[in-house]
């Protein structure tokens, strides 16, 4: 039995409603509900040995109704050299999920950065404030509702960029 099959069986035995797929890079991708994600990550850490939080970030999909935002967790089992990706979808009306700083101390800065750029808040976070941008910014720059380029610039010509 493959390692992925063992992981899938363990996850399905303990959690319902998970969507588990394998991507083109042989990484298991788990999509969880916002309600179950903290328990899922705790299970991955304590029971399955995924003790290294490689990354935590956000994504914005403005055309996905009621799931415009994602929080993406990358975890690594160093002993078995196995990686896993956990995703949780959040609505634009309430882009909030529970913090995992109680499980991984490294999540502190990663969650703050995700808040700073996407506006996703982490309930229970010990210091949910901006980390890289100015405190008085009234927007979140990685959201796709903002233009990529400053349209008022006159020093650029599209002909130099192949447009």
- How does pLDDT run across 18-51, given as a tens digit for each residue? 999 988 888 899 999 999 999 999 999 999 999 9
Q: Which fold has domain 3-144?
A: Beta Polymerase; domain 2 (3.30.460)
Which residues touch 2 (CB under 8 Å, ≥6 apart)? none
pLDDT value at position 1? 43
Pairing of strands 82-90, 28-32: parallel
Render the burial of 66-102: b for 16+ CB within 10 Å, e for the rest.
eebbbbebbbbbeeeebbbbbbbbbebeebbbbbbbe
Whole-angstrom distance between the N-terminal and C-terminal Cα of the chain?
51
The pTM of the full predicted model, rounded to 2 decimals, is 0.88
What is the CB-side half-sphere exposure of residue 33 using CA atoms within 13 A?
A: 6
- Give, in order, the Cα–Cα distances in Å from 60 to each of 22, 39, 71, 93, 99: 22, 24, 9, 13, 19
pLDDT over 90 percentage in the chain: 69
Which residue carries 């490294």 as its tokens?
106
What region, left, alpha or beta, does residue 98 occupy, with left being phi > 0 and alpha being psi -120 to 50 degrees? beta
Q: Which residue ranges in the chain fall short of pLDDT 50?
A: 1
Q: What is the pLDDT of residue 121?
A: 97
């Amino acid at each position: 039995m493959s390692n992925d099959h063992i992981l899938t069986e363990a996850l399905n035995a303990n959690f319902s409603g998970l969507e588990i797929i394998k991507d083109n890079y042989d990484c298991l991708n788990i999509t969880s509900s916002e309600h179950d994600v903290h328990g899922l990550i705790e299970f991955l850490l304590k029971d399955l040995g995924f003790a290294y939080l490689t990354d935590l970030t956000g994504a914005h999909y403005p055309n996905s109704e009621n799931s415009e935002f994602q929080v993406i967790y990358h975890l690594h089992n160093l002993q078995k050299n196995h990686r896993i990706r956990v995703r949780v979808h959040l609505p634009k009306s309430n882009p909030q999920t529970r913090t995992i700083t109680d499980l991984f101390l490294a999540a502190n800065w990663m969650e703050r950065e995700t808040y700073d750029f996407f506006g996703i808040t982490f309930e229970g976070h010990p210091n949910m404030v901006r980390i890289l941008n100015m405190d008085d910014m009234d927007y979140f720059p990685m959201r796709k509702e903002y233009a990529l380029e400053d349209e008022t610039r006159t020093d650029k010509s599209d002909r130099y960029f192949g447009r």
